[in-house]
Structure 1
Amino acid sequence: MVDTTAIHSHDALASLATRIAAANAAGTPLRIEGGSSKTFYGRKVQGETLDVSEHRGITSYDPVELIVSVRTGTPLAELEALLDAQGQMLPFEPPHFGPRATVGGMIATGLSGPRRPWVGAVRDFVLGMRVLDHRGQEQRFGGEVMKNVAGYDLSRLMVAAQGTLGLITEVSLKVLPKPGSQASLRLETTRQDAMTRLAEWGRKPLPITAAAWLDGGLHLRLEGGPSSVTATRQSIGGDELDAGFWTDLRELRLTFFSDDPRPLWRLSLPTNTPPLELPGSAENDVLHDWAGSQRWLKSEIDGERLRESCARAGGHATCLTPGIGEPFTPLEPVLAKYHRELKARLDPNGIFNPGRLYADL
């Protein structure tokens, strides 16, 4: 176990529970807030602010077992620094979107970075969590091993629920060792050729952990043992790429994102989906991430039309620019029914982040 006493820690569980119980009794909606770095993601919430940022600290960390438990108000940068000192990492590369990003925001939004297709998403590394329910009572889900749940795992249900089902106060995560070697490359190629190559490489045991096509170039990251990375690099070729590219991609800081004022859309599509026929969109309006299964689009296209196109391909579209209609793809009637029933069961008075995902949740 690692001594974490030097890290700022504060247990605000009692005061948070009191606030929630009072809000539930009065039917007062609460807007859950941590570092406010991801408030742009989702619908605007009207309600009293419930600040979780003071509920912070690493409660346990075992580098040998690759497990860390942390309160959700803990700054994400603080957690990553602790792991880095032990040669470990959060393998899903969560975006920060600002210096005040917290662990709670990471879990609530469920957003992952470039490595996600090769190692898994945030949800895949959640072992368990503690949650304050609508009565202000603490509930514990999961534990600290990968196989710890009989039946439905409610802890993973909370991931990406945007705080609409309860207040996550602590989470236990599986972490991984940092790779022994890393190299980033850029290959000049067309979009179609890039997708063809990635499909071919995907059938081979290559140490690729990030792949993106942008501005006529296929960008790759190789990670693993030194010999494997070196051999793959020599086989693939290409020019050396600054590793900072992946951080800028994760944080949406590339020129692609900053130099174009049009709305930003994230398209989630099946692997190897051909380019969508989108009126008014050029090839350079799209950045292919996650080997093509996540695509970033800058466009003034009508949201309904875009979502219909994505749906036909078996995917969906999310708008990350506030004020452009509904941010998330509307739910099918049956799925919407289940969401409403779940919300009614876990938050009967609708106090937790009402309307953050959808207007009626």
Structure 2
Amino acid sequence: MSDLIEQWRERVRAAVAANAPLELRGGGTKAFYGRKPAGDVLDTRAHCGVVNYEPTELVVTVRAGTPLAELEALLAERKQMLAFEPPHFGEGATIGGCVAAGLSGPRRATAGAVRDFVLGVKILDGRGEVLSFGGQVMKNVAGYDVSRVIAASLGTLGLILDVSLKVLPRPVAETTLRFELNEADAIARLNEWGAQPLPLSGSAWHEGTLTLRLSGAEAAVRAGERRLGGEALPAAVADAFWRSVREQDDGFFASTATGAESVLWRLSLPSSAAPLKLPGSQFIEWGGALRWLRSDAPAASLRERVASLGGHATAFRGGDREADIFQPLPAPLMAIHRRLKTAFDPVGIFNPGRLYHGL
């Protein structure tokens, strides 16, 4: 065990003894996400570096403080990638923050979410003990898969030390097509195309324009292009567009970042759900399953409408950070969350309240 981890163990034990909360933080690029952080900062960035990388096995194990950009550059050298296309939201993004936030980019609908690629984790729990879960292969779990629970937990269960991730080859060919469609027609087309053998890897609709990405074998991409039609974008333009969607630094998202609207809502819905018919402007991803809404609508009425369509709503950016950011949970589900929190962090020192009040 390294001296750094031993120092962290002592710090956690001291925090437990003093009942003093700790804010677990890497690069801080996702500090806006979730409820307002509390406690003294425990910076994870010093624990960095690649522990093991087996390109032929499509597995990498990396320390949590490692810059996300550094890992992606290493994978790119071997023509591999993190298939869930994680957003950085800033130059300081780390692997630990990537997993703890559990956020995925445009490929998520077809490739899978962060949790689907987490093979194993090593964490420091709320007792100051180092625990390991999972491993470096897909079929390595008998019983409860703790590695996946750590993904998207926002640091409330433990301090991530190391993560083993499954990686995938980069696609051989890729093309981006554009279509002029209204919201209802775009949702209908996306669901129709999603049921067909097309190499879809990204979709985005905004203000009457649907942008579709195809990735895979050259023959499959070209066949899909001929089948769908639309306007093909130059590669450089397409790459810039998908990067801006992933990083939310242009167009629809940029206007939110500058405060044009008070709240950016992240709405998860069945892909075939009807148009929202809520006030504000909208951006649709993941074949209709992810709908971003910039709106000043009251949270209660907005969540009621989204729930009626079979989904849930998260106040992603802006608004009151002391209020409910994530969809309030039914009592049985909240009880499960509380038991998990107690099992990993009995005194509740790690990022208290970051997910839900009192958790």
TM-score range, shorter chain: over 0.9
1:264 aligns to 2:264 (yes or no): yes
**TM value normalised by structure 1:** 0.94
Match for residue 104 of structure 2 among 97, 112, 121: 112
Q: Deviation of residue 135 (structure 1)?
A: 2.0
**d(CA) in 2 for partners of 1:92, 1:11:** 33
Deviates more, 1:302-311 or 1:55-64: 302-311
Residues matched between the structures, number: 348
**d(CA) in 1 for partners of 2:313, 2:104:** 16
Q: Deviation of residue 322 (structure 1)?
A: 3.4
After TM superposition, list the pairs within 5 Å mapping 1:263-342 onto structure 2.
Answer: 263-278=263-278, 280-281=279-280, 285-324=281-320, 325-342=323-340
- SS where residue 355 of structure 1 aligns? coil
Match for residue 144 of structure 2 among 131, 152, 160: 152
**d(CA) in 2 for partners of 1:152, 1:111:** 22
Structure 1 equivalent of residue 224 of structure 2: 232
Q: Deviation of residue 331 (structure 1)?
A: 1.0
Runs of 4+ aligned structure 1 residues displaced above 3 Å come to none
Match for residue 22 of structure 1 among 4, 14, 18: 14
- SS where residue 320 of structure 1 aligns? strand
Structure 2 equivalent of residue 357 of structure 1: 355
Q: Deviation of residue 152 (structure 1)?
A: 0.4
Amino acid at match of 1:306: L
**C-alpha contact (below 8 Å) 1:29/1:351 kept by paired residues:** yes
Aligned-residue Cα RMSD (Å) equals: 1.3
Structure 2 equivalent of residue 343 of structure 1: 341
Measured at CA, do residues 91 and 32 of structure 1 come closer, stay the same or move farther in structure 2, by a change above 3 Å?
same
**C-alpha contact (below 8 Å) 1:11/1:54 kept by paired residues:** no
What does the per-residue CA deviation read over 1:260-305, in whole Å, with 9 as the maximum and x for residues that have no partner? 5112111000111001232x34xxx111111110001011000111
Unaligned runs of 5+ in 1: 1-9
**d(CA) in 2 for partners of 1:311, 1:75:** 37
Structure 1 equivalent of residue 251 of structure 2: 255
Measured at CA, do residues 133 and 343 of structure 1 come closer, stay the same or move farther in structure 2, by a change above 3 Å?
same
Structure 2 equivalent of residue 6 of structure 1: none
Structure 1 equivalent of residue 81 of structure 2: 89
Amino acid at match of 1:345: A
Structure 2 equivalent of residue 220 of structure 1: 212
- SS where residue 225 of structure 2 aligns? helix
**d(CA) in 1 for partners of 2:3, 2:112:** 30
Deviates more, 1:261-270 or 1:195-204: 195-204
**d(CA) in 1 for partners of 2:4, 2:228:** 52
**C-alpha contact (below 8 Å) 1:264/1:320 kept by paired residues:** yes
**C-alpha contact (below 8 Å) 2:9/2:124 kept by paired residues:** yes
**C-alpha contact (below 8 Å) 2:26/2:97 kept by paired residues:** yes
- SS where residue 120 of structure 2 aligns? strand
1:182 aligns to 2:174 (yes or no): yes
- SS where residue 274 of structure 1 aligns? coil
Structure 2 equivalent of residue 4 of structure 1: none
Structure 2 equivalent of residue 172 of structure 1: 164
Percent sequence identity over matched residues?
Answer: 52
What does the per-residue CA deviation read over 1:195-240, in whole Å, with 9 as the maximum and x for residues that have no partner? 2221221121111111111121110001011111112112212122
After TM superposition, list the pairs within 5 Å mapping 1:42-53 onto structure 2.
Answer: 42-53=34-45
**d(CA) in 1 for partners of 2:316, 2:79:** 33
- SS where residue 74 of structure 2 aligns? helix
Q: Deviation of residue 22 (structure 1)?
A: 1.6
Q: Deviation of residue 188 (structure 1)?
A: 1.2
**d(CA) in 2 for partners of 1:195, 1:179:** 26
Amino acid at match of 2:242: W
- SS where residue 277 of structure 2 aligns? coil
Q: Deviation of residue 11 (structure 1)?
A: 7.3
**d(CA) in 1 for partners of 2:132, 2:3:** 16
**d(CA) in 1 for partners of 2:189, 2:342:** 47
Amino acid at match of 1:321: R
**d(CA) in 2 for partners of 1:89, 1:110:** 17
Q: Deviation of residue 191 (structure 1)?
A: 1.7
- SS where residue 231 of structure 1 aligns? helix
**TM value normalised by structure 2:** 0.94
